[in-house]
Amino acid sequence: MKFVYRRVSTGEQNLDRQLDDMPFKDTEDCFVFSDKKSGKDFDREGWKDMRRRLHRGDDLYIHSLDRMGRNLFEILKEIDELVKEVGVNLHIVKDNIHLEAGKEVSAMV
C-alpha cells in the first residue's frame, strides 16, 4: 500500500504543495496523513495514526526530510525503525532518498 505523510508547522500554512511533488499524480489509491504541528518530535496525531497502519512492504512517501521532523538524531532513529524493523520502503521525494525495506539504513546512506 502507498502512504503519504505531510506536515506544516502552523495552521495557516498549506499542505497541498507537498502532494504536487509526488512521483504519482493520483493520490486516490494512497492513504494520506497530515499534521499542522511543529516537527520538534514525533508526538503528532497524524504521524502516530500513520505509524499504526504501516506494515511490511508498504511504501511511505514524504515530500522532504524536513517535513518528517527537525531533530536529525530523532529522524535517523525513526527512519531506522521504519525501514529495518517495520519493513517499509521509504521515499523522501525532494531529497531523492529511497530506502529499501529491511536493509540497514547506515549501509544505504
Q: So which residues are the catalytic ones? A: 9
Single out the residue of 109, 86, 92 nearest to residue 101, CA to CA.
86
Burial of 46 (0-12, 13-18, 19+ CB in 10 A): middle
Query: What secondary structure letter does DSSP report for 44?
Result: -
Question: Is residue 4 within 8 Å of 31, Cβ to Cβ?
Answer: yes
The three cell numbers of residue 30 are 494512497
